[in-house]
Amino acid sequence: MPDGAEDVTILVPGKLHSHAVSRIGERFRLMAVERSDPALLTDEMKRSVVGVAASGAISSAFMDALPKLQIVASFGVGYDAVDAAHAGRKGIVVTNTPDVLTEEVADTALGLLINTVRELPKAENYLREGRWRREGAYPLTCATLRGRSVGIFGMGRIGRAIARRVEAFGLPVSYHNRRKVEDAPYAYHQTLVGLAEAVDTLISVAPGGAATEKAVNAEVLRALGPNGVFINVGRGSTVDEAALAAALRDGTILAAGLDVFADEPNVPDSLLSLGNACLLPHVASASVHTRQAMADLVVDNLVAWFTRGAPLTPVAETAHLKEP
Ligand code: DGY
């Protein structure tokens, strides 16, 4: 860091990975506040904060309350909780943590798919409860991956990593995305309903936000059909959870595997009570290895901005912004 870096004040609202916090403390002047609420900002923060590092929501009001703010370094690839469009208009850079979590999230997606279809968590519980000894073999699973056809909703970096794995399992892949991805060697469907009609296994890795709000709705689930399996490692907001619970209950689809929910960590009872829903507490990228790499990228973005005026991984809405 050049001289004077200790005068660069970075604010951490709420909880952030401890490795990121300690690196920020070594390189910058670190301030912390309980949560990203403008009412909690002190005059000193308003006077001096030029960067925010956060895992969670950063609203337009919070940005507006920090007049010297230059950059919001967000932990995670999804940044739907950060008002990046507002930041872009105000000349504030937003960065996220792509690439370093791609393979981990794709691994988890395939694990969740197999757990959902082959009921491995339920089979393990059966063993632990002593039922194998008492009652004999676990019942044959009515679902299998064999013969399935997989549709991916969201053909970005993670979608492609999932597609590669699905191909290795010997299953055909097709996808729906805002736009056709020219170099993706998979069948493209212009609509999500069209994709759901064409496959029996739908894996969503779609980002959150207004454009995808409740995109996986009753119509999509009906199109997926009674042998249908739905997997979500994207964002819970992309699913109409009431419609999903109803579809799982009445056999409109066969099963679902969910790592993300609309109101985390609150998972609706209507999903918790279902035997054909395999539920995880948003762990797709949650290994020590990958979370440390994400924490490093948060801090590396701050260092790159304040030393060279060029963030490493700016989000699309602020990619036009250069030097402070
Ligand atoms: C992300 O990075 O967006 C994942 O959901 C992990 O938080």
CATH code for the domain in which residue 23 is found: 3.40.50.720
Residue 324 pLDDT > 50, yes or no?
yes
What percentage of the chain exceeds 70 in pLDDT? 97
Is 302 found in the same domain as 254?
Answer: no
pLDDT band at 242 (very low <50, low <70, confident <90, very high): very high
Residues 113 and 81 in one domain: no
Ligand 1 atom showing the smallest separation from residue 78 Cα:
3
State the pLDDT at residue 229: 99
Mean pLDDT of 244-273: 98
Residue 206 lies in a domain: yes
- Model confidence at 7, in pLDDT bands (50, 70, 90)? confident
Residue 24 and residue 91 in one domain = yes
Q: What is the pLDDT of residue 222?
A: 98
Both 126 and 273 in one domain: the answer is: yes
Among 285, 287, 313, the mutation site with the greatest number of ligand 1 atoms within 8 A of its Cβ is 285
- Are the beta carbons of 204 and 238 closer than 8 angstroms? yes
Looking at the structure, do residues 264 and 296 belong to the same domain, yes or no?
no
Same domain, 124 and 253: yes
302 inside domain = yes
Q: What is the pLDDT of residues 294-323, one digit of tens each?
A: 999 999 999 999 999 999 999 999 998 876
For residue 261, pLDDT beyond 60:
yes
73 and 112 housed in the same domain: no
Which of 37, 12, 41 is CA-nearest to residue 27? Answer: 12
Condensed to tens digits (0 to 9), the pLDDT of residues 92-107 reads: 999 999 999 999 999 9
77: Cβ below 6 Å to ligand 1?
yes
Is the residue at 140 inside a domain? Answer: yes
Residue from 51, 55, 19, 50 nearest 35 by CA: 55
Q: Is the CB of 154 under 6 A from ligand 1?
A: no
From the alpha carbon of 96, which atom of ligand 1 is closest?
2
Whether 323 maps to a domain, the answer reads no
- 193 and 80 in a common domain: no
Instruction: Examine the domain organization and report whether 42 and 85 are in the same domain.
Output: yes
Query: What is the average per-residue pLDDT within 66-95?
Result: 98
* β-pair partners for 151: 174, 202
Tell me how far CA of residue 180 lies from CA of 189, 266, 284, in angstroms.
8, 35, 26
Q: Is 91 within a domain?
A: yes
Does 125 lie in the same domain as 258? yes
CB under 8 Å, gap of 24 or more: what pairs does 283-292 form? 283/108, 283/259, 284/101, 284/104, 284/105, 284/108, 284/109, 284/233, 284/259, 284/260, 285/76, 285/77, 285/101, 285/104, 285/105, 285/108, 287/104, 289/104, 290/100, 290/101, 290/104, 291/17, 292/17, 292/19
Instruction: Give me the active site residues, please.
Output: 235, 264, 282
Token duo for residue 321 = 């912004």
The stretches of the chain forming alpha helices (DSSP H) are 18-27, 43-48, 60-64, 84-90, 102-118, 120-128, 131-135, 157-168, 192-198, 218-224, 241-249, 269-272, 288-308
Question: In this structure, is residue 324 part of a structural domain?
Answer: no
Which pLDDT tens digit goes with each residue over 128-159?
Answer: 999 999 999 999 999 999 999 999 999 999 99
Whether the per-residue pLDDT at 226 is higher than 80: the answer is yes
**pLDDT band for position 6 (50/70/90)?**
low
The answer on 141 and 88 residing in a single domain is: no
Query: Can you give the residue range of the structural domain that contains 91?
Result: 5-100+288-318
pLDDT of 282 > 90? The answer is yes
Tell me what pLDDT residue 4 has. Answer: 52
Q: How confident is the model at residue 1 (pLDDT cuts 50, 70, 90)?
A: very low
Residue 222 within a domain: yes
Judge if the beta carbon of residue 295 lies within 6 A of ligand 1: no
65 and 116, same domain (yes or no)? no
Whose alpha carbon is nearest atom 3 of ligand 1? 78
Residue 199 lies in a domain: yes
Q: Alpha-carbon distance 33 to 41, whole Å? A: 7
Number of domains the chain is built from: 2
Pick the residue whose CA is nearest to atom 2 on ligand 1: 76
β-sheet bridge partners, residue 173: 150
pLDDT at 2: 46
